């Protein structure tokens, strides 16, 4: 049972292709007896181009080239470029020889991911079950939405119309398995399948290119004389796994409905975003503090209703006729407690210098994060730290003193004393590789940031010398004799003399 409808959105009219007649249904060994699904796949073959160039710039031939490719091969091109004989896979120099005035852009994976994410959000208007298939496809399970949209074809027409209006080239296909729908959409034959039983037969007629397997796998398959999916399905399963691994066989099985394929749902992250217009423009930050209260109350209610916390916030101060001032707040741990956030924001606001009067506030949360519930130590407090207390302390100190004024220290396995440690994120020490050398002579508890010239000191040398000669390989070589010295006032110091002698004494540490 096949509905052969061309489901392609492209500015040029799509060619009508005849429907395929199908071999009668043949039972499969393990047909999925679960709830029947119908997946709509949308494949965007020109996504690299659409992500980089707006649809309006189609007046000129344009191409997108692969990144990190010495030949700068073309990944996608617009309609005008393909009319002038340019096709994906062509080297850039060949394309420029054909069309000298070609507009060339480099591929931007981040922009592509962002566009695909937007398309995923858009697909959520048809069904709550949407899954992305990077780099260039969106899958949606639409069985439950068919009545609402007046059937599968009406839904597809509607989707195609919207995609066409936004200038995106897309091919759509329906199938009972997500992977099957993806194959059909990629092969762009205008085929759709609605029953699992028919999937294997339809898939057999598809070109291998719709699988989008790695190039070396495709080469091996070509070497075996395998032309299409039908040949592939005839291969012995054990041999296939031995040669290509189990993942590709799972993919094949999932495509034809022999095994279910769990898909990761595309979920739009929820955020708090509210704006408050001030009754009158505020000229100093003190007047903003009370205005924040209702916004924070709304945030509190929002977080409580979702049992969630936030790891970051942005407060925009909106001015008249100039861009807003932004105050960003990052938290060490997700906080669900608005009182904590209020304290931090008040601290930041108090330090903020207003460039212009403020007429409105906008409070926008980062992504919501689940809060881990904790028992708050009913009987004994203070013996062990509540992890939130440690994070809260860091947030509070950093909000007032600045991020760099609060840090941790971390030892580094290195013989040069000044390189045997580094500043680290508090609590974020990496374990030392191997055994920490504890057999070396004692080290001072306090280290000077830089060795200081220290001639003319008075006291006695207690121990030494300890010779440290290393680092010649990286240009920071150290040739020193270290001594422990005791000054007249009873302070133990760590001093060194450079070798060969002649530079005098340097103070490097204090034993404390």
Partner 1 sequence: MSEALAELLRHPALWRGDTAGAAVRTIPSGFPRLDARLPGGGWPASTLIELLVSSAGVGEIRLLLPALCRLALASPESPRWIAWLAPPHLPYAPALADAGLDPARMLVIQPRAGLDRLWAMEQALRSGACAAVLGWTGAASDQALRRLKLAAEEGQSPAFLFRPPLHRDEASPAALRLALTARDYGLDVEILKSQGGMPARIDRLSIH
Q: What residues make contact with partner 1 under the rule CB under 8 A?
A: 381-387, 389-390, 392-394, 396-397, 400-401, 405-412, 417, 420-422, 426-429, 432, 436, 438, 442-449, 486, 489-493, 509-512
Which tokens in the block code for residue 149?
């949209």
CB of 499 to partner 1, least distance (A): 22
CB of 501 to partner 1, least distance (A): 26
SS3 per-residue string spanning 41-52: EEECCCHHHHHH
Strand partners, 369: 309
CB of 202 to partner 1, least distance (A): 58
Q: Which is nearer to partner 1, 25 or 425 (CB)?
A: 425
CB of 383 to partner 1, least distance (A): 6
**Angstrom distance (rounded) from CA 162 to CA 145:** 17
DSSP per-residue letters across 282-330: ESSGGGHHHHHHHHHHHHHHHHHHHTEEEEEEEEEEEESSSPPEEEEEE
**Angstrom distance (rounded) from CA 33 to CA 178:** 16
The residue written with tokens 């924070």 in the block is: 296
Cα-based distances in Å from 123 to 150, 409, 446, 476? 17, 48, 60, 58
13: DSSP letter? P
CB of 435 to partner 1, least distance (A): 12
Q: Which is nearer to partner 1, 207 or 441 (CB)?
A: 441
Burial class of residue 139 (count of CB atoms within 10 Å of its CB; 0-12, 13-18, 19+): buried
Q: Which is nearer to partner 1, 88 or 343 (CB)?
A: 343
Residue of 266, 413, 434, 287 whose CA lies nearest to 361: 287
**Angstrom distance (rounded) from CA 404 to CA 172:** 52
Residue 477 · residue 470 · CB < 8 Å: yes
Phi-psi region of 157 (alpha: psi -120 to 50; beta: other; left: phi over 0): alpha
Q: Which is nearer to partner 1, 34 or 431 (CB)?
A: 431
CB of 342 to partner 1, least distance (A): 16
CB of 482 to partner 1, least distance (A): 13
CB of 394 to partner 1, least distance (A): 8
Which tokens in the block code for residue 479?
């040739």
Q: Which is nearer to partner 1, 43 or 392 (CB)?
A: 392
Which tokens in the block code for residue 131?
């899954």
**Angstrom distance (rounded) from CA 412 to CA 404:** 20
Q: Which is nearer to partner 1, 237 or 415 (CB)?
A: 415
Q: Which is nearer to partner 1, 161 or 408 (CB)?
A: 408
Q: Which is nearer to partner 1, 205 or 443 (CB)?
A: 443
* 137-141 vs 130-133, strand pairing mode: antiparallel
CB of 390 to partner 1, least distance (A): 4
Q: Which is nearer to partner 1, 246 or 441 (CB)?
A: 441
């Amino acid at each position: 049972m096949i509905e052969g409808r061309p489901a392609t959105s492209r500015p040029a009219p799509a060619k009508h292709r005849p429907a395929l007649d199908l071999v009668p249904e043949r039972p499969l060994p393990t047909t999925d007896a679960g709830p029947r699904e119908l997946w709509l796949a949308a494949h965007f073959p020109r996504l690299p181009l659409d992500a980089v160039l707006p649809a309006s710039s189609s007046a000129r031939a344009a191409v997108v080239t692969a990144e990190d490719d010495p030949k700068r091969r073309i990944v996608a091109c617009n309609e005008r470029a393909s009319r002038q004989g340019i096709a994906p896979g062509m080297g850039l120099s060949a394309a420029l020889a054909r069309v000298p005035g070609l507009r060339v852009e480099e591929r931007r994976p981040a922009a592509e991911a962002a566009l695909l994410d937007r398309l995923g959000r858009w697909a959520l208007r048809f069904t709550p079950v949407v899954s992305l298939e990077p780099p260039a496809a969106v899958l949606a399970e639409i069985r439950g939405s068919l009545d609402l949209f007046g059937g599968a074809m009406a839904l597809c027409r509607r989707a195609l119309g919207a995609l066409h209006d936004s200038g995106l080239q897309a091919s759509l296909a329906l199938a009972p398995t997500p992977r099957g729908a993806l194959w059909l959409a990629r092969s762009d034959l205008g085929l759709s399948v609605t029953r699992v039983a028919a999937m294997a037969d339809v898939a057999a007629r598809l070109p291998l290119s719709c699988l989008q397997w790695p190039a070396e796998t495709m080469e091996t398959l070509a070497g075996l004389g395998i032309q299409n999916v039908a040949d592939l399905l005839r291969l012995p399963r054990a041999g296939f796994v031995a040669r290509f691994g189990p993942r590709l066989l799972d993919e094949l099985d999932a495509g034809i409905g022999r095994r279910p394929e769990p898909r990761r749902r595309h979920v739009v992250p929820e955020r708090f975003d509210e704006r408050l217009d001030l009754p009158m423009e505020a000229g100093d930050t003190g007047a903003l503090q009370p205005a924040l209260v209702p916004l924070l109350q709304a945030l509190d209610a929002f977080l409580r209703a979702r049992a969630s916390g936030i790891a970051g916030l942005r407060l925009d101060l909106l001015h008249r006729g100039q861009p807003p001032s932004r105050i960003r707040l990052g938290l060490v741990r997700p906080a669900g407690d608005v009182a904590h956030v209020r304290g931090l924001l008040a601290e930041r606001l108090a330090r903020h210098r207003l460039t212009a009067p403020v007429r409105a506030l906008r409070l926008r949360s980062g992504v919501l994060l689940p809060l881990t519930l904790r028992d708050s130590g009913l009987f004994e407090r203070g013996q062990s730290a509540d992890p939130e207390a440690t994070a809260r302390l860091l947030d509070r100190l950093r909000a007032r003193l600045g991020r760099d004024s609060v840090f941790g220290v971390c030892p580094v396995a290195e013989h040069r004393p000044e390189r045997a440690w580094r500043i680290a994120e508090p609590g974020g020490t990496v374990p030392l590789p191997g055994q920490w050398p504890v057999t070396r002579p004692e080290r001072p508890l306090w280290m000077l940031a830089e060795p200081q010239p220290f001639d003319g000191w008075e006291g006695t040398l207690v121990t030494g010398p300890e010779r440290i000669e290393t680092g010649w390989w990286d240009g920071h070589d150290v040739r020193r004799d270290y001594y422990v010295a005791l000054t007249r006032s009873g302070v133990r110091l760590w001093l060194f003399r450079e070798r060969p002698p002649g530079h005098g004494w340097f103070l490097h540490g204090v034993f404390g």
